[in-house]
Copies of this chain bind each other. A is one copy, B any other.
Amino acid sequence: MKRISIDMDGVLANVYSQFITMHAAEFGKILTAEEITGKSEQQAFPNALKYVKSNGFFRTAPVMEGSQEVVRKLNEYYKIFIVSAAMEFPNSLVEKQLWLNEHFPFINWQQMVFCGSKEIIKADIMIDDHFKNLNFFSGETILYTQPHNELADTLHHKRVETWRQIEQMLLS
């Protein structure tokens, strides 16, 4: 059974929704897609770091559309690991685990990995929104489109915009 490493933020968890909401609450302006596309999160939201560190940021993040249904199906045919960089923000450890338990109850604790660097991850396929993770991975790489990577050259990775595309790619 092939192993898939699936990222959380920007792949399963809609962190941009959180950023936009919190930025609007602070500055009274809802940023448009044009205003955030092609920028890093820190460039698009000056106080991104403050938001990420605030209680509840990860716990209350909306689920990415279609991800629950597709990951549930993938879980039958692949060994799924949810691999999240969580070490930088200690508060996020428990929030992320509670979030996974709520929204992906079919993922058990043996399938969760919280790390700093993902260079230690051994899998056949990696789904991630960050080049820093995909570029150093030796298996098949799937870049999940998010505003920060939308204008970048996709390099040798396969780019997807939705979970439906992942379903077609890995389950058809």
Residues of A within 8 A of B (CB): 3, 5, 81, 83, 86-88, 90, 93-94, 97-98, 108-117, 119-123
From A81, A97, A114, name the one whose CB has the most chain B CB atoms within 10 angstroms: A114
Q: Known contacts A3-B119, A90-B97; can you find 6 more A-B pairs with CB under 8 A?
A: A5-B120, A81-B117, A90-B94, A110-B117, A113-B120, A114-B115
Chain B residue with the shortest CB-CB distance to A89: B109
User: Main SS of chain A's interface residues?
Assistant: mixed
Known A120-B121, A121-B122: A87·B115 in contact at CB below 8 Å: no
**Shortest CB distance A81–B (Å):** 5
A-B pairs with lowest CB-CB distance, top 5: A122-B122, A110-B116, A87-B109, A93-B93, A113-B115
Q: CA of A119 to CA of B109 in the docked complex: distance in angstroms? A: 13
Q: CA of A86 to CA of B100 in the docked complex: distance in angstroms? A: 15
Q: CA of A116 to CA of B111 in the docked complex: distance in angstroms? A: 6
Using Cβ atoms and an 8 Å threshold, which residues of chain B touch A114? 86-87, 93, 113-115
Contact (Cβ within 8 A) B108 A116: yes
Known A94-B94, A97-B90: A115·B112 in contact at CB below 8 Å: yes
Q: CA of A83 to CA of B119 in the docked complex: distance in angstroms? A: 13
Contact (Cβ within 8 A) B88 A97: no
**Shortest CB distance A6–B (Å):** 11
**Shortest CB distance A64–B (Å):** 22
Q: CA of A94 to CA of B5 in the docked complex: distance in angstroms? A: 23
Contact (Cβ within 8 A) B112 A87: yes
